[in-house]
Amino acid sequence: MIRVICMIIGTAVTMLSYAQDPSRWRGPSGDGIYPETGLLEQWPEGGPEILWTFEGLGQGFSSAVAHNGFIYTTGMIDGTGYLFKIWIYGDLAFKKPYGPEFTESWYGTRGSPVVAGDRVYVMSGHGKLVCFNRTNGNILWSKDLFREFDAKNIQWGINETVVVDGDIVYATPGGRTHNVVALDRHSGDLVWSSRGKGELSAYCTPLLFEHNGRKILATHTASHLIGLDASTGEMLWSQHHPNQHAVHANTPIYHDGELFYFSGYGKGGGKLRLSGDGSSVSTVWTTEKMDSRMGGAVLVDGYIYGSGDTNREWMCLDWETGKQVYASTDITKGPVIYADGMLYCYSERGELALVKATPEGFQLVSETQVTRGDAQHWAHPMIHAGVLYVRHGDALIAYKVK
């Protein structure tokens, strides 16, 4: 009981700073950086303490997000997708169905929930966007993006976590005419539609960023990285970037007028420099080294950290030059997030590692094995109020890291 009370107090203090902002995949800014402090610099032998494990999520790869004392994620049970709302001490608050989920290849849910105000937004693997009431889980509205915007699904199902900003929710149906859309998040009504390049979507969660006062939405479609004016949907620029299978699951990283993009199958990526008004881009450098397929990357103090795909290594790149600073095979490739000076690396083999974020080498401090749950180790971890949350198939595991 004391532990539960402490967790609730800690969460209450933390949530005061973030209650008004959307809670989303890969942290407050969607860049894998979590604003936690006072975290363990080294884990106990055997790994950090497991506070609780919630089992019964069903099949899926979506991550957990935290909001106002609750954890949200999705899972598929008997072909139906469910939104789960879980108390921070591990008890179920509700489980609400939203319709069929993806059962054709790599069964289960994909995109993660987004919590904004009194609403939760979920995109199914079949392109159905659903808006829930956050308190009771009732569905307020839903949109079949493929049917309403003349689009079709992709080989492994829609993987996108939608982006919410103010009164708008952004999504990528991938239609020839309605390629990227902005919807009123309260009603689901169309605000604007962009033709983009008219390509299929590409598993990418968009990045919304502000550049010299202009809000820009950047995302991948099948063969291009595109930049849109977030207010109007006008396409500002595009960068040709095809790869095998048209899988571009990594959200780009923006910093100080420049944008890093990258994808797998040996393709790699590069860094673009935006013009002053954001209406054009120029290439600064390219690389084939960091070719992460879906593990993301983080930018910390001028260096990019992540892992590869064909290049099955953990690596560090210099943000300014793109030069590879180090490479390591100490653990297998996978997702990465960052908090309080450390990288949290979660490999496809279930290795969970604490690594110093330094260009001086892959300094592995602590390591444990994720043994609870089932299926692939693909979901990106999340940190909130001193707790590391790892989704592994049917299970959500809460580790004490503070």
Closest by CA to 14, choosing from 73, 88, 83, 84, is 88
* CA 58 to each of CA 122, 244, 348: distance values in angstroms, whole numbers, following the listed order: 16, 30, 19
Closest by CA to 254, choosing from 288, 206, 290, is 206
pLDDT band with cut points at 50, 70 and 90 for residue 1: low
Mean local confidence (pLDDT), 216-236 = 98
For residue 52, give the CATH number of its domain: 2.130.10.10
**Structural domain count of the chain:** 1
Q: Tokens 């055997």 sit at which residue?
A: 46
Neighbours of 395 (CB within 10 A): 19
Closest by CA to 254, choosing from 296, 218, 295, is 218
Give the percent of the chain with pLDDT over 90.
95
Q: Domain range holding 82?
A: 2-400
Six-digit token pair at 330?
């100490």
Closest by CA to 88, choosing from 115, 122, 64, is 64
Residue 331 identity (one-letter amino acid)? I
User: Is the per-residue pLDDT at 270 higher than 50?
Assistant: yes
Output the pTM of the full model: 0.94
Mean local confidence (pLDDT), 122-131 = 98
Sequential DSSP letters for 84-100: EEEETTS-EEEEEEEEE
